[in-house]
Amino acid sequence: MFDSLTISIGTFIVAAFVIAIVGIKMTKVADRLADKTGLGEAVVGALFLGGSTSLPGIVTSVTTAASGHAELAISNALGGIAAQTAFLGLADIVYPKANLEHAAASAANLSQGTLLITLLALPLLAIAIPQVSLWNTHPASFILPIAYIFGLRLIARAKETPMWSPRRTKETRLDEAETDENERTSLTNLWLRFAFYALTIGVAGYVVAESGVAIAEQTGISESVVGGLFTAVSTSLPELVTSIAAVKRGALTLAVGDIIGGNSFDVLFIAFADFAYREGSIYQALTQSQSFIIALTILMTGILLLGLLRREKHGVGNIGFESFLILILYLGGFSLLFFAF
């Protein structure tokens, strides 16, 4: 299918463009679903929007792992999480009223960030302990989905009966249902549209995966760089587009929930890739560069949580100091990855 580098790059760009366009449409539908279902922006952003916009990354990691490209599969998963965390800094730039960490602080988003750090710690532990496997799969890959589901239950309880809430200021945007007298779209119609957009993004993600592997083979660039930068950023475009679109709509909790909740779901890519990888446990193929990305992502998420707790109203260049630091860490970290590994 990809006979030349030109065709591979062209296909890669077209698929990434499709992902971006469909991601914008998904945001509007997700915001309306949050209101109509009563689930709220944080839950819809984390579970449905975050999970659906993660489809390209799932397809990329699973298909590349099944074809034996373990390094590319894991780098795509981890690189996507880091990129999406950095996207919150970009979303902060387009919201001039206050820093995003101040306006979108909520118990649900803080819980999601804590869950993300917990899930990211599990692959690091799997690397450190002696390598064991069940049916060519590491036990950590069975634990990750269980921990994720348990974490979602805790997040749902935090929304229903919160034991903590941020102090309300005039810049705080609460997750409140919007009423639209002209809105007559049925709930079934919204779910069908959402499913169609999710399917479209999944197909585009498969194309990104195949073209990404071709680019790696045709250019000689390492799979860690291709996965951690090119395929990870491209398959993460829905998160960038949806987070900015959500901020523009004033759905700040949805924007943050999409990123942090989607990141938690993205950690499961490692488990899915391990199930698809048939040459043993995929954790055995993890290199120093993947460990570096995990540590970098934990650091970036910790800084984001500090921002949500500190709630600075205005900062560097009208974005939060935490958002600024996250962007610097991402650019510096992946520059180091590109040149050093």
Total number of residues shown for the chain: 341
CA distance 47 to 77: 17
Residue with tokens 């999601």: 112
Quickly state the pLDDT bin for 166 (edges 50, 70, 90). Answer: low
Is the pLDDT at 44 greater than 90, yes or no?
no
Mean pLDDT of 210-236: 73
Phi, psi (deg, nearest 5) at residue 326: -60, -45
Write down the pLDDT at residue 72.
81
Write down the pLDDT at residue 105.
67
Helix (H, G, I), strand (E, B) or coil at 137: strand
Write down the pLDDT at residue 172.
54
Quickly state the pLDDT bin for 322 (edges 50, 70, 90). Answer: confident
Write down the pLDDT at residue 155.
77
Report H helices in the chain: 5-37, 41-43, 50-53, 55-66, 70-93, 100-103, 107-128, 139-160, 187-219, 223-225, 232-235, 237-248, 252-276, 288-310, 321-340
User: What's the one-letter identity of residue 277?
Assistant: Y
Quickly state the pLDDT bin for 187 (edges 50, 70, 90). Answer: confident
Question: pLDDT averaged over the chain?
Answer: 78
Tens digit of each residue's pLDDT (9 = 90 or more) over 50-74 = 666 677 778 778 888 888 888 888 8
Q: What percent of the chain has pLDDT over 70?
A: 78
Write down the pLDDT at residue 256.
77
Tens digit of each residue's pLDDT (9 = 90 or more) over 78-118 = 888 888 888 887 877 777 676 776 666 677 778 888 999 99
Mean pLDDT of 276-285: 84
Higher per-residue confidence, 63 vs 159: 63
- Structural domains in the chain? 5-163+186-340 (1.20.1420.30)
Write down the pLDDT at residue 317.
65
Q: What pTM does this model have?
A: 0.77
Burial pattern 69-94, b for ≥16 Cβ within 10 A else e, equals bbbbbbbbbbbbbbbbbbbbbbbbbe
Higher per-residue confidence, 160 vs 13: 13
Write down the pLDDT at residue 88.
81
Higher per-residue confidence, 260 vs 174: 260
Write down the pLDDT at residue 318.
66
Burial pattern 7-30, b for ≥16 Cβ within 10 A else e, equals ebbebbeebbebbbebbebbbbbb
Write down the pLDDT at residue 182.
44
Q: What percent of the chain has pLDDT over 90?
A: 10
Higher per-residue confidence, 209 vs 8: 8
Write down the pLDDT at residue 240.
76
Mean pLDDT of 278-290: 82
Write down the pLDDT at residue 142.
93
Mean pLDDT of 137-149: 91
Quickly state the pLDDT bin for 170 (edges 50, 70, 90). Answer: low
Would you say the C-alpha torsion 166, 167, 171, 177 has a positive or negative sign?
Answer: positive
Higher per-residue confidence, 210 vs 82: 82
